Amino acid sequence: MAAKRKRGAPAAGKAKRARSAPSAGEAVPEGGPGEHSVPPQEYSIPPPVSQGKWKNKERVLIFSSRGINFRTRHLMQDLRTLMPHSKADTKMDRKDQLFVINEVCEMKNCNKCIFFEAKKKQDLYMWLSNTPHGPSAKFLVQNVHTLAELKMTGNCLRGSRPLLSFDPIFDQEPHYALLKELFIQIFSTPQYHPKSQPFVDHVFTFSITDERIWFRNYQIIEEDASLVEIGPRFVLNLIKIFQGSFGGPTLYENPHYQSPNMHRRLLRLSVAAKFREKQQVKEVQKIKKKGTKVLVEEDPTEVVFETPAEEKPVEIQLVKPESKPIVKDKKKLRKIQRKKQKKLFRTEG
């Protein structure tokens, strides 16, 4: 009776080996299988494209608080599709403190975090943090455009690795250098990541203009190496950089930052100032109208230029004037006038 083989154990017999075709330099031995021949070489199976060990195990947690609008939700989903090393989580309650995010990242086995915080259903803030020890940065997100918009005509391979392009100003100031390192660790896809593709076909650009960081995503076209924008695009207005993760001592505070509440307040004040100015102009005009007119004294020399008019004799009309017929129709009135003229001509003739 043959012994039973366990599942997963190698077979009792010899394993079959795949034989390769003889190369051009080798001589094919003649004769049958009984004759002595050169042992054939095995087929060499090519290794996978992403051969290598995944050493840089950066994982980014991307999620948001409750109260975000549809545009923020689409932006968050676009970042998840562009970053294969990202993870998702449910929305966080507004009542929870921000340091709770460190525990969420630890449970999700993530060491970086992008957190979208919504306030007043109109203001969007973004936190970039290196959990759990920091540093972290808080930004105000403005001018958000997503992948689904018609202006974004480019397309890239899902899971491909991006190139990161930075403005030269990032190397000139220390707080920008810190943000550059944070952007590199968060947005760059780790090499040999299981979900990534070993191709580079798009570029993340971070440029600084008007004291803000402008994010753009471009596709690299192979034919002429030109760039086509894919999206998403947004503008980051830096507020503060903290030493810890989601809090701690402040390392840098942006002096050019103006909160959205202050911006809206200034707009309201400017509109109120224009209205107040119009009201003041109207009041001044009313005061001018009500004011007493200044009487100018008569000039005695003006009499010199007055010349008395000639007196006309008074004519008294003794005969009653003929009454004109009241005719509403103008055509009939003209006919009557013509008849009168004809009678006069006849009498004169």
* pLDDT digits 0-9 by tens, 295-342: 778 888 888 887 888 888 888 888 888 877 665 677 777 888 888 888
Residue 13 vs residue 178, higher pLDDT: 178
pLDDT at 144: 93
Domain 60-263 is found in CATH 3.40.50.720: no
pLDDT at 311: 83
Residue 345 vs residue 276, higher pLDDT: 276
CA distance 343 to 254: 104
pLDDT at 319: 84
pLDDT at 292: 67
238 torsion bin: left (phi>0), alpha (psi -120 to 50), beta (else): beta
Q: CA angle 279-268-233, nearest 5°? A: 145
pLDDT tens figures, 9-25: 445 444 444 444 444 44
Average pLDDT, rounded, for the chain: 83
Query: What share of the chain in percent tops pLDDT 70?
Result: 84
Cis amide bond preceding 168, omega within 30? no
Nearest to 195 by CA among 169, 164, 159: 159
pLDDT at 19: 47
pLDDT at 265: 93
pLDDT at 95: 81
CA distance 52 to 194: 10
Instruction: Calculate the alpha carbon distances from 137 to 151, 240, 247, 284 in Å.
Output: 30, 6, 9, 53
pLDDT tens figures, 219-238: 998 777 789 898 899 999 99
β-bridge mates for residue 203, sequence order: 163, 218
CB 267 within 8 Å of CB 259: no
pLDDT at 129: 94
Residue 143 vs residue 347, higher pLDDT: 143
Q: Which two tokens stand for residue 12?
A: 């009792």
pLDDT tens figures, 97-109: 888 999 999 999 9
pLDDT tens figures, 42-84: 777 665 555 678 888 889 999 999 989 999 999 999 999 999 9
pLDDT at 49: 55
CB 60 within 8 Å of CB 85: yes
Query: What share of the chain in percent tops pLDDT 90?
Result: 48
Which amino acid makes up residue 9?
A
Instruction: Calculate the alpha carbon distances from 240 to 43, 57, 128, 173, 178 in Å.
Output: 60, 27, 11, 15, 12
Element (H, E) at 333: helix 330-348
Over 70: is that where the pLDDT of 7 sits? no
Residue 236: Cβ-neighbour burial (10 angstroms; 0-12, 13-18, 19+): buried
For 245-268, what is the mean pLDDT? 92
pLDDT at 221: 87
pLDDT tens figures, 89-132: 999 988 888 889 999 999 999 999 999 999 988 899 999 999 88
Tell how far CA 193 is from the center of its chain. 30
